[in-house]
Amino acid sequence: MDRAQIEQVRSFNRTVTERVGVLHDGYLGRGRPIGEARLLWEIGEQEQDVRRLRERLGLDSGYVSRLLRSLADDGLVTVEPLPSDRRVRTVRLTDAGREERAMLDERSDELAGSLLGPLNEGQRARLVAAMAEVDRLLTASTVTLDAVDPDHPDAQKCLRSYFTELQERFETGFDPARSLLPDAGELRPPHGLFLVARLQGEPVGCAGLKLPPGAPAEIKRMWVAPRARRLGLGRRFLGELEARAAGEGRDVLRLDTNRTLGAAIGLYRTYGFQEVPAFNDEPYAHHWFEKRVSGPARG
C-alpha cells in the first residue's frame, strides 16, 4: 500500500478529530464522551435492538453495554428484554433522553456552522462536496462480502428484493418460475458459491457464481440494494467472482442480462466483458457477455 496515501489518511484523521471535538471527554460541551452521544443519535425515536445497534456502529458488545449502562444511570435510556424473546435486549430514549438528543442536535449544528463560517462561498461548496465524497468512500470501505449458503436468511432476503425489483422494471414483469434460476445446489461448493454484501450488519447485495464441470463459470443473480448503489459494490462483486473463478482454474466468465438494466450493462462493458451470441435460453435475457478471466495460470 502506498506510504504517501497512508500518511495522508492519518493527517486527515488528526485534523478531523481535532476540529470536531472528539479529543475532549465532554463532546459538544455536554459532559459525556462521543460514544454516548452517538448512541443517543442512533437510538432515535424508535425502540432499537441492541445487537443491531452494536452491529451498525461496529462496536464491541462490552463497550456498548458500558455506554448504555451510563446512559441508563443518567435516566436517558431504558434497556429491557424483548417480551417475545428475553435473550434480545431493546433500548429506547426516555423523555430526558429525547431532550438531551435535541440539545446535541443543536450543538452539532453550531459545530458544523463553525467549520463552514470562516470559509467563502466557493470554499464551503468544495468542502461539502469533498465531505460527501469521503462519506461515500468510507461507507464503501465498511461493506463486507461473505460466502453464505443460498438458503441463508440474508441470501433469501436479497433474492426476494432482487426479484421484486425485476418485476417492477422488466417490461414483461418477472416470474421466477419462467427464468433459468440456478438450483441452490449449483451455488454451493464445489459447484459454485453465493456472496452476500453487508453494510452495518444488514444485507445490501448478492451475487452467485456457477462452476459447471467442463464449462465456463457463470455469474448469476447479482444485485445491489438501492441504498448501497454508487459504492462500487457491483464492480467489487465482479472482481471477487472473477478471482474465485480463476482460483478454480476457469478461464472464461459468462453472464446474461436484460436490456432494461442499462447501468448493469454499462458496468459489464467497462469491466471488460464482450457481448457474444446467446449461450442459453434465458427468456428474460437480451444480452449475453463473456470475459477472459485474469488470474493465476492454470496448472
SS3 of 113-175: the string is HHHHCCCCHHHHHHHHHHHHHHHHHHHHHCCEEEECCCCCHHHHHHHHHHHHHHHHHCCCCCC
Find the DSSP H helices in 142-276.
Answer: 153-169, 233-247, 262-271
Instruction: Return all residues near 74 (Cβ < 8 A) that are at least 6 apart.
Output: 32, 96
Whole-number pLDDT of residue 297: 43
Cell readout for 145 is 462480502
Q: What is the pLDDT of residue 239?
A: 96
Predicted confidence at residue 18, as pLDDT, reads 81
Question: How far apart, in whole angstroms, are the C-alpha atoms of residue 35 and residue 62?
Answer: 13
Q: What is the pLDDT of residue 116?
A: 92
Query: CB-based contacts of 159: which residues, under 8 Å, 6+ apart?
Result: 206, 221, 223
Q: What 3-state class would DSSP assign to 254?
A: strand
DSSP 298: P
The helix or strand, by DSSP H or E, that contains position 110, with its residue range, turns out to be helix 95-116
What is the full per-residue pLDDT of the chain (299 aa) written as tens digits? Answer: 788 888 888 888 888 888 877 777 778 788 888 888 889 999 988 888 998 888 888 888 899 999 999 999 999 999 998 888 878 899 999 999 999 999 989 998 998 999 899 999 999 999 999 999 999 999 999 999 999 999 999 999 999 999 999 999 999 999 998 998 888 889 999 999 999 999 988 999 999 999 999 899 999 999 999 999 999 999 999 999 999 999 999 999 999 999 999 999 999 999 999 999 999 999 999 999 999 997 654 44
| Confidence (pLDDT) at 22 | 75
**Does pTM top 0.95 for this prediction?**
no
pLDDT value of residue 296:
54
Question: In terms of Cα–Cα distance, which of 218, 223, 211 is closest to 290?
Answer: 218
What is the CB neighbour count within 10 angstroms for residue 243? Answer: 14
- Please give the backbone phi and psi of residue 268, each rounded to the nearest 5 degrees, phi first: -60, -40
Contact 278, 270 (CB under 8 A): no
User: What residue type is 199 in one-letter code?
Assistant: L
